[in-house]
Structure formats: structure tokens, C-alpha cells
A and B are shown apart, each in its own frame.
Chain A
Amino acid sequence: MSYLQLIDLKTHFPVKNSEPIRAVDGVSLEIQKGEILGLVGESGCGKSTLSRTVMQLIAPTGGRVILNGEELTSFNPSEVRRRRLDFQMIFQDPYASLNPRMTVFSTLAEALRTRQPELKGTELNQAIAELMERVGLDWRYIRNYPHEFSGGQRQRIAIARALAPQPKLVIADEPVSALDVSIQSQILNLLKGLVADLNLTMIFISHDLSVVRYIADRIAVMHFGKIVELGESEQLMENPSHDYTKELLAAIPRIRDRA
């Protein structure tokens, strides 16, 4: 059975004296355990709204989100809160996703103790240090604040925070688009490794097809709030069937042969 199932999910935003904005308009998806699903589409097509709807940060207008056999959309807020540890999110902008007034220690301690409230003292330090090493950060920077790190390092902290509650599903919302190209591949490799090591399931959102192709097993193409094409990464890249996918592929800049 699929680990995450979206059935006809809709998120509309009401607009005064006008038609509502249909940010997510009837999305149905199934994601297997251990799979990385790439979600691509141009800016404004509803990718981020979809991720926040799955994360239960925005209430859907209609449809269902089923995680591991439990229908999240049927729960009340406190029941959702108890299950939040199982699904975590990595945000686009590592400059905005970390509380500027909290050290790495406080940020990670708070995240760790959601799953293990009994963690204290040396054990807590050790757990944080292990987490930092796992994402490739030197634990000696445990007492530093976000503004003292580079963008790539901040994204590593954000990844560590998302991993701290031991989630099963991680939604990465354009985790590399705010980073330098040289850092992008490091973060991509880190994420790929983590998914394999920790047996995670991941939805990887991006507007960059080449990035998604590298990391994802399957790719879903989103356009105006709908999934227009879904397929195995290589197959979809080589042999797109929907017009919009072809357009997206054609938009990848290429160095042409002079000949």
C-alpha cells in the first residue's frame, strides 16, 4: 500500500468579489515508502500550497490526505499535532526558516524533544552533535546563531531540524533554489543519502527539472493547480507526453553544438 495518498485534494483561496484562486485544484497522488517523488512546475503553479496543504499548515478546501493509512484531513487540530512528528518539511529559504534568536542548540533541542521529551544534559548534547554530524556540520558551532552561518550551512541546520523528530515523510520545498550552484549538489547528495540511510519518503519540490531528474525516482508535473503528467524520471524526461512538460523541457538552457 502506498505510504502517502492524496485524493482529489483542493485548496482554494477566496478573493473578494471574484472567483477564488484555485492554487491546488484536484490533485491525486500516491507515493510509495522510500520513494522520492519530484514535483515540478513553474512559479505560482501551486507547488508550495500543495506542500503546505499536505503538511496540514493550510486547511484544504476539499479532498483527503491519507498518511500511512490514517486520514489526516479527518482529524481535529490536536490530533494532527500529535502526528506532526511523522511528517516534516524543509523550507525554501534557509535565511527565513530558522529563528534568528535561537542558537543551533536551542533549535535542534526543541525539535529533538518533541519526540524524546526526556532528553537532557549530556545525552541531549550528544544527540544534537550526532544530528549535526549527520548533516555535515561541525558540532563545535552548536552555540552559534543562524546569521553566523552561510546559506548552505543554514540549510543543513534546517535539514537537521526536520530530521530531529524522526519523521517518515519529508517534504522538501525547493530546498536548493536559494543556494549557489556549487552548494546545491552538496545538499542534493546529502538529501539523497539521508533518504536511503533513514528509509525516508520524500516529496521534492523544484522548478528546476535538471535538479529533480537527479534526485527523484518519479516526477509529477504540476500546472495551474493540477498534475498534468506523472512518470518515471528518465522516461518522462526522454519521452514527455503532455505539451506543458515538453515546454518545460524545452526551457532548460542548453549549450548547443556549433556544428
Chain B
Amino acid sequence: MNSSTQDTKSAEGQHDYSLLQAERGSSLWRDAWLRMGKNKVAIVSLIVFIITCLLCFGFAWFCKDPIQQNLANKFAAPSGEHWLGTDAMGRDLFSRILYGGQVSILVGLVATFVAVTIGVTYGAISGFYGGRIDAIMMRTVDTLLSIPFLMVVIVLQAVLSEWSTTTSKWIVENWGWNKEFTNRATNVLPLFFALGLFGWLTLARIVRAQVLSLKEREFVEAATSLGLSRLRVLFRHIIPNTLGPTVVYATLTVPGFIMYEATLSYLGLGVESPNSSWGILIKEGANYLETNPQLLILPGILFSLTLFALNFLGDGLRDALDVRASKD
């Protein structure tokens, strides 16, 4: 924009102050987006991730039933019927990979969403109100962080798997949902629960630190001087300014959660066979590593590709958003 506007007056005599006539500003988000557009790795990663999602959540519905067994046709080679062949139970591998992706990606996204919602609110309140509230809230986080995650997941899984079976039955009986679908959904609930319960802790700390520094900034004092309410100052002036680091952190947590899902499922603590997830596929594939390595390698490729893409995307976002003061 023109750097010397001190003397420029708006069009003489014309008093049409419609916003459409105004120059369009460029928000920090837009700037970051444009900056990321120049980062080829990040854009390719974004495209890879979008294609994976489209395959898993769109194309999968046109594929074969991932649970349908056919013992007469196990370990089949790729063919027009079964694009990537079949597994040890004669189930279609391609379909299982896509359905497995649904679970894995959903676990990653939902757990991240839960973590961000709780983490941002918790951290913001803790940092903004400070004093005793802050001390109590942060000691709670410290305590939770000191509990071994894996142990809690094991306990939760033991407690909740019973519960999830009953819930599933209840839903099928009372709401008339499709039984298989309900089973599949409630099966992963304990996992969501456990991940959501622990995922927000680090984020709460990050946001709190952000808020602590932001609330001393002059624009927050200015907002207070205008007589705005405390909540308005918090939600309109402070939290929007914490979202940059939050977005970066969240993008990098998604692959973390996907990884957790795989680890837990591999250990038999997450999703259970015959339901599919990338962790389950890797676990099942590992059993036939010597005779039929494609059962491990094929799901592994998509799994790694997704994790790579998400990590590069997170790095790209960080580079794009963290150019603090570059324009000042």
C-alpha cells in the first residue's frame, strides 16, 4: 500500500463509505497462507493428505466389505476382484486399508479436536485469571502429566471395553442402528477417551504461556481501558492471538495420535480385530512377514505417507506462521 497516506484525503465530496470501495487488507492468516503456498513440500503434503482422506472417507464406501471373510480365497494375489489381494482371512486388503484409514485418521483428528478445545480453554483461563486459580489448575496438569499414559490406557480399556459392549448393545436395541457400524464405533470410544484425556495437557501449558505474555501487551490494556468485559477481552483479544502456535501444535499432534492408535492397537489395547485400523493391519501383517510381506508393507506405505505428510505440513505451517515481526 501507499506508504505516505498522511495527506491523502478520500475522494473529494464523495461520501459513499461502502466497505466494497475500501482496499482489502491482508490478515495475518492470509499472509501465512500465501507464504505457505511458496513452500512446495508443505503444499505437496497437504495434497497427499487430502487425497488420503478422500480415499478413506469417500472412495471406501464403494469398496468391498472389509470384514467379509472368505477362507477359500486367502492370501490371494492382486486381481481385478481384489485390487491388492486378500489377507489371511480372505478379506479384501485394499478395502481394509481404506477402512483402517478411516479409524486411524478419525482418531487423530477427533483426539486433536478434543485436545485443542480443552487445552485452549483451560490454558487461557489459567493464564488469564492467574493467582490461585492458575496455581491450582497448573498443579493439576503437572499431576496428570506425571501419571504414566500407557498404564491409564490399559486400565481404561479394561474398564471401558465392557461398557462399550453394553453401550453398543443398548444403541442397537433402542435406536435401531446398524449393529456392525455401532460395534465399530463404540470399539474405538475408549481409545478416543484416553487420548482426549491426556492430549490437551501440553497444549494447555503452551496456551497458558502465550496468554501470560499477551495479557501484558498494550493492546489488551487498551481493550480493558475501553471498558470491555473480562470475557470479551479474553475471547476477542487474547485467544485469537494464541491460535498461531495452537494450529502448528495441533497439526503436529495429529500424526502423534495416529501413531498412538497404531501402537496401542498393535499391543492389543486399541481397536480390535476384525475391525480395521492401520495399527491392526500392521499387527496382522507382521504375523505373515516371511510368507506374505505385502500384508505389512502395503498398509505401512499409506501409514508412513500420511505421517510424513502431516509432519511436513506442520513444519510448513510453523515456518509460515512464525515469522514474528518480519513485517514490523
The interface of chain A, by Cβ under 8 A from chain B, is: 52, 55, 57, 81-82, 84-85, 87-89, 91-93, 95-101, 103-105, 110-111, 114, 122, 125-126, 128-129, 133, 136-145, 147-148, 150, 152-153, 158, 161, 165, 186
- A99 B225 Cβ-Cβ under 8 A: no
- B225 A84 Cβ-Cβ under 8 A: yes
Q: A57-B224, A125-B19, A152-B6 are in contact. Are A145 and B237 (CB under 8 A)?
A: no
The B interface is mostly helix, strand or loop, or mixed, namely loop
Q: Which residues of B contact A88 (CB under 8 A)?
A: 225-226
Q: Which residues of A contact B21 (CB under 8 A)?
A: 140
CB nearest to B4 among chain A residues: A150
User: Which residues 1-57 of B sit at the A interface, judged by CB distance below 8 A?
Assistant: 1, 3, 5-10, 15, 17-19, 21-28
In the complex, A81 Cα to B223 Cα: how many Å?
11
In the complex, A145 Cα to B1 Cα: how many Å?
11
- B28 A147 Cβ-Cβ under 8 A: yes
Q: Which residues of A contact B3 (CB under 8 A)?
A: 150
In the complex, A103 Cα to B30 Cα: how many Å?
13
In the complex, A110 Cα to B218 Cα: how many Å?
16
CB distance from A167 to the nearest CB of B (A): 9
User: Which residues 278-297 of B sit at the A interface, judged by CB distance below 8 A?
Assistant: none
Number of A-B residue pairs at CB separation under 8 A: 121
Does residue B139 face the partner (Cβ distance < 8 Å to A)? no
- A141 B23 Cβ-Cβ under 8 A: yes
- B222 A158 Cβ-Cβ under 8 A: yes
In the complex, A129 Cα to B7 Cα: how many Å?
15
CB distance from A38 to the nearest CB of B (A): 21
Could you give 7 example pairs across A and B, Cβ below 8 Å?
A: A52-B221, A89-B221, A89-B225, A125-B17, A139-B17, A140-B22, A161-B226
- B218 A96 Cβ-Cβ under 8 A: yes
Does residue B132 face the partner (Cβ distance < 8 Å to A)? no
Q: Which residues of B contact A98 (CB under 8 A)?
A: 219, 222
> In the complex, which of the residues A110, A126, A141 contacts B228, with contact meaning CB atoms closer than 8 Å?
A110
Does residue B162 face the partner (Cβ distance < 8 Å to A)? no
- A57 B17 Cβ-Cβ under 8 A: no
* Extra 15 A-B pairs, beta carbons < 8 Å, given A91-B221, A152-B6, A153-B6: A57-B225, A88-B226, A95-B328, A96-B218, A97-B222, A110-B223, A110-B228, A114-B227, A126-B17, A136-B7, A140-B21, A143-B25, A144-B1, A145-B25, A165-B226
Does residue B179 face the partner (Cβ distance < 8 Å to A)? no
Q: Which residues of B contact A144 (CB under 8 A)?
A: 1, 23, 25-26
In the complex, A57 Cα to B221 Cα: how many Å?
7
In the complex, A105 Cα to B25 Cα: how many Å?
10
B213-243 vs A, CB cutoff 8 Å, 1 = contact: the mask equals 0000111011111111100000011001100
- B10 A140 Cβ-Cβ under 8 A: yes
- B23 A97 Cβ-Cβ under 8 A: no
Q: Which residues of A contact B221 (CB under 8 A)?
A: 52, 57, 89, 91, 97
In the complex, A61 Cα to B328 Cα: how many Å?
37
> In the complex, which of the residues A84, A97, A147 contacts B219, with contact meaning CB atoms closer than 8 Å?
A97
- B228 A143 Cβ-Cβ under 8 A: no
Q: Which residues of B contact A129 (CB under 8 A)?
A: 10, 17
In the complex, A226 Cα to B23 Cα: how many Å?
48
CB nearest to A127 among chain B residues: B17
Q: Which residues of B contact A136 (CB under 8 A)?
A: 6-7
Q: A93-B218, A143-B23, A147-B328 are in contact. Are A138 and B8 (CB under 8 A)?
A: yes
> In the complex, which of the residues A84, A89, A133, A148 contacts B25, with contact meaning CB atoms closer than 8 Å?
A148
- B218 A114 Cβ-Cβ under 8 A: no
- B227 A81 Cβ-Cβ under 8 A: yes
Q: Which residues of B contact A137 (CB under 8 A)?
A: 5
- B22 A161 Cβ-Cβ under 8 A: no
> In the complex, which of the residues B5, B24, B28 contacts A100, with contact meaning CB atoms closer than 8 Å?
B28
CB nearest to A88 among chain B residues: B225
B291-328 vs A, CB cutoff 8 Å, 1 = contact: the mask equals 00000000000000000000000000000000000011
Q: Which residues of A contact B218 (CB under 8 A)?
A: 91-93, 96-97
Q: Which residues of A contact B222 (CB under 8 A)?
A: 89, 91, 97-98, 158, 161
- B10 A139 Cβ-Cβ under 8 A: yes
Q: A101-B27, A101-B28 are in contact. Are A138 and B227 (CB under 8 A)?
A: no
In the complex, A84 Cα to B228 Cα: how many Å?
9
CB distance from B207 to the nearest CB of A (A): 16
CB nearest to B244 among chain A residues: A101
Q: Which residues of B contact A52 (CB under 8 A)?
A: 221
Q: Which residues of B contact A104 (CB under 8 A)?
A: 25
CB nearest to A125 among chain B residues: B17
Most B CB within 10 A of own CB, among A91, A101, A129, A133: A101
In the complex, A147 Cα to B30 Cα: how many Å?
13
- B17 A99 Cβ-Cβ under 8 A: no
- B1 A100 Cβ-Cβ under 8 A: no
Q: A96-B219, A110-B228, A186-B6 are in contact. Are A101 and B22 (CB under 8 A)?
A: no
